[in-house]
């Protein structure tokens, strides 16, 4: 089954076309790299899929639910890590995850076990009673992923999840994301091509609001060490 189906999706901000009749499909259980230069339309696409913003035209379905006609059902299928996750600094990690669980409608009796589950899955169990404001950047990003996992959504949309991390933290977060595939479909937006090469099976490249590549990692790189970099540069040249 397709986890995401996008058909001729268009978004205009006044007269600026941010995304232009995008169409693509993402299958269940895949890790997909969503790439493009700054201003290409990645965030706009993610905001529409996650129900933060309406489209000007076109259709989008998540796990079969139309995001415009069935927004609540569609949202329930999605865990979203925005570029700057809103971690309330005055809350403890546990308090924050509790708050997210309530918002997502996790049944009261299951909240504690759900917090334990996502904390374990993201390696933040030892940090549960610390204040968000006291966390290292690497832990903050893990907590961002933990909140996306609350409610066990089928689809995770992660917007630059390794931004601002040092190489070790970056690698840890990537391995964590890799481990989530299979149980979840993961869309990873990043401009770091090496990360995409490490964990993604499918690659979508967007440029000036249009899809310029949609293929498996192996096909895009053509088996060459620098194949992805070369493709990216040539497809987004002007």
**Binding residues vs ligand ADP (CB under 6 A):** 13, 16, 18, 36, 38-44
Q: How far is the CB of 130 from ligand ADP (least distance, A)?
A: 32
Q: Which is nearer to ligand ADP, 13 or 52 (CB)?
A: 13
Parallel/antiparallel/unpaired status of strands 16-27 and 65-66: unpaired
Q: How far is the CB of 39 from ligand ADP (least distance, A)?
A: 4
Q: How far is the CB of 53 from ligand ADP (least distance, A)?
A: 9
Residues 6+ apart with CB under 8 A from 152: none
Q: Which is nearer to ligand ADP, 36 or 138 (CB)?
A: 36
Q: Which is nearer to ligand ADP, 33 or 36 (CB)?
A: 36
CA distances from 67 to 6, 38, 46, 48, 89 (A): 10, 25, 12, 8, 31
Q: Which is nearer to ligand ADP, 39 or 86 (CB)?
A: 39
CA distances from 15 to 18, 39, 57 (A): 9, 15, 14
Task: Kindly provide the residue ranges of all beta strands, DSSP E only, lying in 28-97, ordered along the sequence.
Answer: 31-35, 57-62, 65-66, 78-81
Q: Retrieve residue 169's tokens.
A: 């933290």
Q: How far is the CB of 159 from ligand ADP (least distance, A)?
A: 8
């Amino acid at each position: 089954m397709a986890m995401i189906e996008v058909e001729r999706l268009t978004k205009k901000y006044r007269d600026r076309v941010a995304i232009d009749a995008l169409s693509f499909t993402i299958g269940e259980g895949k890790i997909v790299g969503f790439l493009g230069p700054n201003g290409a339309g990645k965030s706009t696409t993610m905001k529409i899929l996650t129900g933060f913003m309406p489209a000007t035209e076109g259709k989008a379905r998540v796990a079969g639910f139309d995001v415009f006609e069935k927004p609540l059902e569609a949202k329930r299928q999605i865990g979203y890590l925005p570029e700057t996750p809103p971690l309330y600094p005055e809350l403890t990690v546990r308090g924050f995850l509790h708050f997210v669980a309530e918002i997502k409608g996790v049944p009261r009796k299951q909240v504690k076990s759900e917090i334990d589950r996502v904390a374990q899955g993201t390696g933040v169990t030892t940090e549960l009673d610390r204040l968000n404001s006291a966390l290292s950047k690497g832990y903050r990003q893990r907590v961002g992923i933990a909140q996306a996992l609350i409610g066990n959504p089928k689809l995770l949309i992660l917007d630059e999840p390794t931004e601002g991390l040092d190489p070790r933290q970056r690698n840890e977060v990537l391995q964590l994301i890799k481990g989530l595939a299979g149980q979840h479909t993961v869309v990873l937006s990043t401009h770091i091509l090496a990360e995409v090469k490490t964990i993604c099976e499918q690659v979508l490249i967007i440029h000036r609001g249009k899809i310029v590549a949609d293929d498996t990692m192996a096909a895009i790189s053509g088996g060459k060490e620098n194949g992805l970099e070369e493709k990216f540069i040539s497809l987004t040249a002007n």
